[in-house]
Structure 1
Amino acid sequence: MFKLVHIGIPTTQEKEGNLYVEGANIYVTSSEDSPFAIEYVRFLPGTVFPESMHYSVHIAAEVDSIDSYLQFADEVLVPKMDNGACYLCFIKKDNVIIEMIEQK
């Protein structure tokens, strides 16, 4: 399964409804509040995310197993990490940043 969930757009501006993500040092908006499934991401100093992600759009997809998709990645930007209700991993494939989301 590979189901598109949202488009992540980096921003330097505060957005209405943004939420602070503890441990990641970022602010995000909910893609569920956007008619176009857009999630705005504002990176703060000391974030766990590499600088290359601060300026690039990413797509997010729910997958049944992150591990089964890692073999197709050109580069792993953020290894599989526990996000509470799910696991997340960010990869690059053909110069596109992909966030994979695996439900627990």
Structure 2
Amino acid sequence: MDYEFSHIGIPTTEDKEWDGFYEPGKIHYTEFDIDEYKIEWVKFDDDSPMPEMIKTLPHVAYLVDNMEKALKGKKMLVETFSPGEGVKVAFIVHNGSPVEFMEIAQ
């Protein structure tokens, strides 16, 4: 399995100039692909259903070619969901930290 670095996500409680809001997860975010260091800032509403680990710990994200293969045998934190058209995302726990996998349709 090949993993290509995508970005690092850093939770914050500060207000920023948000680029978007993911309603189902109640997550405000900045666009990592326009940040020179590939940083995505994330802020969670008080009633966000996301796990505490994602709300409080930074995560590293990787692009994968096949989400099912990437997740096989991994400890799931957040099951696969689609935050936008052609994008699949899932979170696993690796050595006590969240890791995000992203599959983008070609």
Quick check: TM above 0.5? yes
Deviation at 1:72, TM superposition (A): 4.3
Aligned counterparts, 1:1-104, within 5 A: 1-73=2-74, 75-83=75-83, 84-104=85-105
Deviation at 1:31, TM superposition (A): 0.9
Identity within the alignment, %: 28
Deviation at 1:22, TM superposition (A): 2.2
| In 1, Cα distance between equivalents of 2:27 and 2:90 | 16
For structure 1, list consecutive stretches of 5 or more residues without a partner in the other structure. Answer: none
Indicate conservation of the 8 Å contact 2:18/2:28, yes or no.
no
Deviation at 1:17, TM superposition (A): 3.7
Indicate conservation of the 8 Å contact 1:72/1:93, yes or no.
no
For structure 2, list consecutive stretches of 5 or more residues without a partner in the other structure. Answer: none
CA RMSD, 1 decimal? 1.4
Count residues in correspondence.
103
Task: Calculate the TM-score normalised by the size of structure 2.
Answer: 0.87
